[in-house]
């Protein structure tokens, strides 16, 4: 029958194989093979890889790959209740924050919000050029009726970036102080950064209801927090040894050193991390529209789903515009910091 039957027979495991036989529903490939009818002898060069499915064909006691995936699913479902019990209340404030900020940004009339944004942009960048660019971009976005979508996207990015910095900077500082923690954290950060963004969504969908904002909030934060952690750690480790030594020699305690020397000197790196965090939050917020995140991503999704080419393309351009705005503004404030402390 199957290629590997001889193997199990040879090892005298036939009894065990048949004993464990519990025929589940057939897999698609089994069905197909059956439909073809022929139990042709496989030529030697056609020997299939001894995968779970192929072994199963020879010996029913071996589980199939499908049994394994459903096992994983079952395991996940089994811990789901416990996880939910812990995580749900912990993450609830995230939903409130996201919903609150979406509501707030939506409720402020455009003729108040736009000037406010421009004032904020000027405050952090101190650059007339950048401010002008942002003004023109927003007028354009509003003119083509993408104002409310853009503001929703911005509001999500705003909340997620603030939270990423709030958690990321202390984690980065802790990592810079402890080599052990750094060794432990780096694989996690690598994983968070290399996991395709869709994969994040899968366990989250199981854990939380898809209608809750924290679902996409968590996905965005997990994805976007990595650079700010990494660069905070790097920045503090790169602080000039001589200056640290001077701080020690004058008797600074750990707190004075951290806030008076290390963080200020690491600030350019930390801000570079924040810049990247913002950009990654933007990338993720678009994908998160798959799990009901509002904003420009919804339009992109509509473009794909309904083949509305124009809608998809225009919203794509708007996202690019937002990206450029966010990048310019954060880079401008970064260079302002750099200028004030070259050594």
Partner 1 sequence: MSDKPKVRIRNLYKIFGTDPASVLDQAKAGLGKTEMLERHGHVLGLKDISIDIGDGEITVIMGLSGSGKSTLIRHLNRLIEPTEGEILVDGIDVTSYGEEELRQLRQMQMSMVFQKFALLPHRTVLENAGMALRVRGESAAAADAAATTWLDRVGLTGFEGHYPHQLSGGMQQRVGIARALTSNAPIMLMDEAFSALDPLIRTDMQGLLLELQQDLHKTIVFITHDLDEALKLADHLVILKDGYVVQQSEPQHILLNPADPYIEDFVSDINRARVLRVRSVMTPLDGRVPADAAGEVGYDDTLESVIAISGGDTAHAYAVLRDGTPVGMLDMKDLVRALVPRAASNGGMLSRAV
Residues forming the site for partner 1 (CB under 8 A): 240, 242-243, 245-246, 248-253, 256, 260-261, 264-265, 267, 340-343
Nearer to partner 1, 261 or 318 (CB): 261
> In Å, what is the CA distance from 340 to each residue of 41, 227, 337?
78, 23, 5
Surface-to-core class of residue 5, CB atoms within 10 Å of its CB (0-12 exposed, 13-18 middle, 19+ buried): middle
Comparison of 18 and 240: residue with beta carbon closer to partner 1: 240
Distance in angstroms (rounded) separating the CA atoms of residues 191 and 226: 10
Q: Which is nearer to partner 1, 194 or 343 (CB)?
A: 343
Q: Closest separation between CB of residue 338 and partner 1, Å?
A: 11
Q: Which is nearer to partner 1, 36 or 342 (CB)?
A: 342
Distance CA 124, CA 321 (A): 19
Task: For residue 223, give both structure tokens.
Answer: 């994805």
Closest to partner 1 by CB, 267 or 274: 267
224/274 with CB nearer partner 1: 274
For partner 1, the closer CB: 247 or 284: 247
Indicate left, alpha or beta for 63 from its phi (over 0: left) and psi (-120 to 50: alpha). beta
- Residue 312 gets the label, from left (phi > 0), alpha (psi -120 to 50) or beta, of alpha
What is d(CA 115, CA 103) in angstroms, rounded to the nearest whole number?
A: 18
Q: Tell me the closest approach of the beta carbon of residue 260 to partner 1, in angstroms.
A: 8
The smaller minimum CB distance to partner 1, of residues 204 and 267, is found at 267
CA distance 83 to 89: 11
C-alpha distances out from residue 308 to 300, 311, 335, Å: 9, 6, 41
Q: Confirm if 58 and 100 have CB atoms less than 8 A apart.
A: no
H-state helical runs in the chain: 5-10, 14-19, 28-36, 52-58, 65-107, 110-125, 128-143, 147-177, 179-194, 197-207, 213-237, 241-249, 254-257, 263-287, 296-305, 309-340
Q: How far apart are CA 71 and CA 81, in angstroms?
A: 17
Q: Considering the complex, what minimum distance in angstroms separates the CB of residue 256 from partner 1?
A: 6
């Amino acid at each position: 029958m199957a290629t590997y039957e001889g193997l199990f027979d040879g090892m005298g495991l036939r009894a065990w194989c048949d004993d464990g036989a519990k025929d589940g529903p057939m897999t698609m490939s089994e069905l197909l093979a059956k439909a073809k009818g022929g139990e042709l002898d496989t030529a030697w060069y056609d020997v299939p890889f001894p995968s779970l499915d192929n072994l199963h064909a020879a010996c029913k006691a071996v589980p199939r790959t499908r049994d394994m995936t459903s096992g994983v699913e079952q395991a996940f479902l089994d811990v789901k209740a416990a996880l939910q019990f812990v995580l749900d209340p912990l993450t609830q404030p995230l939903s409130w924050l996201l919903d609150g900020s979406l509501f707030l940004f939506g409720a402020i009339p455009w003729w108040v919000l736009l000037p406010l944004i421009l004032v904020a942009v000027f405050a952090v960048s101190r650059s007339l050029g950048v401010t002008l660019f942002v003004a023109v971009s927003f007028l354009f976005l509003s003119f083509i009726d993408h104002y409310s979508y853009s503001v929703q996207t911005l509001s999500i990015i705003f909340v997620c970036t603030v939270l990423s910095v709030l958690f990321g900077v202390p984690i980065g500082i802790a990592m810079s102080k402890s080599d052990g923690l750094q060794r432990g954290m780096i694989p996690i950060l690598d994983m968070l950064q290399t996991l395709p963004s869709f994969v994040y969504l899968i366990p989250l969908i199981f854990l939380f209801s898809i209608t809750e904002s924290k679902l996409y909030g968590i996905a965005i934060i997990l994805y976007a927090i990595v650079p700010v952690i990494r660069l905070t750690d790097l920045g503090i480790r790169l602080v000039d040894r001589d200056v640290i030594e001077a701080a020690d020699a004058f008797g600074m305690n750990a707190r004075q050193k951290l806030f008076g020397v290390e963080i200020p000197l690491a600030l350019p790196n930390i801000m570079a991390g924040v810049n990247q965090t913002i950009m990654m939050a933007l990338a993720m917020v678009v994908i998160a529209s798959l799990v009901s995140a509002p904003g420009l991503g919804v339009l992109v999704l509509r473009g794909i789903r309904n083949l509305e080419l124009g809608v998809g393309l225009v919203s794509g351009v708007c996202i690019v515009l937002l990206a450029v705005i966010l990048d310019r503004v954060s880079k401008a404030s970064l260079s302002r910091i750099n200028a004030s402390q070259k050594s």
